[in-house]
Structure 1
Amino acid sequence: MTKVGFIGLGNMGAPMAANLVKAGCVVHAYDRSDVAVAKAVNNGCLSARSAADAASNADFVITMLPAGSHVKSVYFDADGIIESASHDATFIDCSTIDVETARSVIGAASESGFAMVDAPVSGGVAAATKGTLTFMVGGEDEAFARAKPVLEKMGKNIVHAGAAGNGQVAKICNNMLLGITMIATCEAFNLAEKLGLDAQTFYDISSTASGQSWSMTSYCPAPGPLESAPSNRDYQPGFAAAMMLKDMRLAQEAAHKAKAATPLGAQSEALYALMESAGKDNLDFSGVMRLIKGDL
């Protein structure tokens, strides 16, 4: 029976750990929040006293943490994963962090004799709950081959993006594109309304024309046309604007280091930052529609 140490039981990590249990894994779960651990236990996980405890004797150690600094700390502090894990354990970091940190952590883990991949996810809480996440995986071929069967218990699309850190590259580039297209979609719906064209009619036309995008047909930011969209639930997330802003900032940080021109990415980051400054970054990221309309 596969033994998994799972560290980080937030909105994404909790359902991911629960799906591993459903798939027959023994999951030792840890989070700094006792409430989160208690919920994981209710879902069939076993409680771990610390990250080191979760990692000890595990075949796979999965981390789902907020930022690169947390990943470094959990793996390399004095009581971290590296010191406590079995020598044949495989590490899978599903956090969304900066590319440089991902590559340095994987490199250091490799030097210590461990196989490790970065495997950030796409799909949000709904896909995490259903077990239909997309994993964008960076790492050596052997490490990817070891990690893939476990990732398949939590997702439906497992894509090897190449070398260490390339999972993060794919994630931040994808989310930068998503953030930009969501703003453009909001602008189009707002302009249509201002010119006398209702949202449903514009949706019916544009969703089958050249302006179609995922932001329109799967996550429409205008209330009305798409019943399942957060726009019809007062923009409750979903994928919070705070998380989109985090990813946009990671993309801009990477762009500066790579000397890559991303002017629309920079402008989009600034707009999501306005949601943050207005105290509205707890809304779904499609709630940028309110900013465009002047309703924040």
Structure 2
Amino acid sequence: MTQTIAFIGLGNMGGGMAANLLKNGHAVHAFDLSDDALARAQAHGAIPADSAAQAVAGADAIVTMLPAGKHVEGVYGGDVFGAAKPGALFLDCSTIDVGTARRVIDAATARGFDMVDAPVSGGIAAANGGTLTFMVGGTDAAFDRAKPILSAMGKAVIHAGGPGNGQAAKICNNMLLGATMVATCEAFAMAKKLGLDPQTFYDISSVSSGQSWSMTSYCPVPGVGPQSPSDNGYQGGFAVGLMLKDLKLATEAAAAVNAAVPMGNAAAALYQLLVNQGEAARDFSLMIEMLEGK
């Protein structure tokens, strides 16, 4: 069933996601503070709006893809709740803290709206290609309504449980990814110092107990394994600054529930060092160069 969907937040991820909604026959009313982002969305067929409220008016569903919890809370509380028609569905695909996600969903529910938190995994290429994974928090009814829309933008849509559980799944997953990438980088750096050829080490570990996604799908060593940002000067991919953001969300959530995350804390400290060195925009697998002292 095609719907009219308001899409707010058309950055590197949101732009590709909105384009895939259009490819699947939905009408998209788009808004972003960036004129360039809005122009790109319009070029794909979206109808540009002058404000979030204008985009939302009359929409069957509203998708948001915003930088942080304060932006999500500000947009919904400032424009979206008041402008949305009765029965509209809200889908927040931003990666934010669990507490804010639950607070905004509670506010939507109190106003009679269904809402899910649906952060994504997969990066810019997956957003453009429509192959994202969505981790969704919300009631069964809200998830059932959201799934067809999310499926137009991704390859997997998984119900993680009640409100906020999508964010919980996302930050736990990315904490694991961040720590695993650090371990992969230090193993390759150590292997090199011990006289092992990186390709030989990859050939062994990729089929042994040390195998991980960070090694076999996203190898941090240039020229080893499938094509990855390491083969392009660590440009593109998943930025160091975004990994640090997710690790901070994870360690803050861990502290709030008294969960022990020593590896998560260590990974966050190491990515903070990379950011301090001015590398926030490069891919997070750049960690290997720091560990090698480059």
Give the corresponding residue for 2:230. 231
In the TM superposition, what is the alpha-carbon distance from 1:137 to its structure 2 partner? 0.1
Give SS of 2:144's match: helix
Deviations 1:192-232 (A, max 9, x none): 00011111000001000000000000000011112411111
Within a 5 Å distance, the mapping from 1:122-271 to structure 2 comes to 122-271=121-270
- After TM superposition, the score normalised by the length of structure 2 is 0.99
Give the corresponding residue for 1:279. 278
Preserved contact between residue 26 and residue 45 of structure 1 (Cα < 8 Å): yes
What is the rounded CA distance, in whole Å, between the counterparts of 1:291 and 1:5 in structure 2?
42
Deviations 1:15-73 (A, max 9, x none): 00000000000000000001100010011111011111111100110000000000000
Are 1:56 and 2:85 an aligned pair? Answer: no
Aligned residues: 293
Preserved contact between residue 237 and residue 285 of structure 1 (Cα < 8 Å): no
In the TM superposition, what is the alpha-carbon distance from 1:290 to its structure 2 partner? 1.1
Structure 1 unpaired stretches of 5+? none
Are 1:96 and 2:95 an aligned pair? Answer: yes
Give the corresponding residue for 2:8. 7
Opposite residue 277 of structure 1, the aligned amino acid is: N
Structure 2 unpaired stretches of 5+? none
What is the rounded CA distance, in whole Å, between the counterparts of 1:97 and 1:294 in structure 2?
33
Where does structure 1 differ by over 2 angstroms across 4 or more consecutive aligned residues? Answer: none
Are 1:26 and 2:27 an aligned pair? Answer: yes
What is the rounded CA distance, in whole Å, between the counterparts of 2:217 and 2:87 in structure 1?
42
Give the corresponding residue for 1:66. 67
Give SS of 2:218's match: coil
Opposite residue 177 of structure 1, the aligned amino acid is: L
Give SS of 2:95's match: coil
What is the rounded CA distance, in whole Å, between the counterparts of 2:287 and 2:49 in structure 1?
39
Opposite residue 18 of structure 2, the aligned amino acid is: A
Give the corresponding residue for 1:82. 81
What is the rounded CA distance, in whole Å, between the counterparts of 1:292 and 1:220 in structure 2?
15
Opposite residue 48 of structure 1, the aligned amino acid is: A
Opposite residue 129 of structure 1, the aligned amino acid is: N
Opposite residue 40 of structure 1, the aligned amino acid is: A
Preserved contact between residue 122 and residue 132 of structure 2 (Cα < 8 Å): yes
Preserved contact between residue 96 and residue 120 of structure 1 (Cα < 8 Å): yes
- After TM superposition, the score normalised by the length of structure 1 is 0.98
What is the rounded CA distance, in whole Å, between the counterparts of 2:17 and 2:91 in structure 1?
13
Opposite residue 65 of structure 1, the aligned amino acid is: L
Opposite residue 267 of structure 2, the aligned amino acid is: S
Give the corresponding residue for 2:45. 44
What is the rounded CA distance, in whole Å, between the counterparts of 2:138 and 2:113 in structure 1?
12
Deviations 1:58-91 (A, max 9, x none): 01100000000000000001xx100000111000
What is the rounded CA distance, in whole Å, between the counterparts of 2:178 and 2:69 in structure 1?
21
Preserved contact between residue 119 and residue 168 of structure 1 (Cα < 8 Å): yes
Preserved contact between residue 199 and residue 224 of structure 1 (Cα < 8 Å): no
In the TM superposition, what is the alpha-carbon distance from 1:3 to its structure 2 partner? 0.2
Give SS of 2:42's match: helix
Opposite residue 246 of structure 2, the aligned amino acid is: D
What is the rounded CA distance, in whole Å, between the counterparts of 1:184 and 1:274 in structure 2?
16
What is the rounded CA distance, in whole Å, between the counterparts of 1:64 and 1:53 in structure 2?
17
Give SS of 1:12's match: helix
Deviations 1:114-137 (A, max 9, x none): 000000000001111110100000
Aligned-pair identity (%): 60
RMSD of the alignment, in Å?
0.6
Preserved contact between residue 206 and residue 212 of structure 1 (Cα < 8 Å): yes
Preserved contact between residue 16 and residue 154 of structure 1 (Cα < 8 Å): yes
What is the rounded CA distance, in whole Å, between the counterparts of 1:164 and 1:189 in structure 2?
40
What is the rounded CA distance, in whole Å, between the counterparts of 2:107 and 2:166 in structure 1?
17
Choose 91-100 or 229-238, whichever is displaced more.
229-238
Deviations 1:232-287 (A, max 9, x none): 11101201011000000000110110111101100100000001100011110111
Opposite residue 71 of structure 1, the aligned amino acid is: V
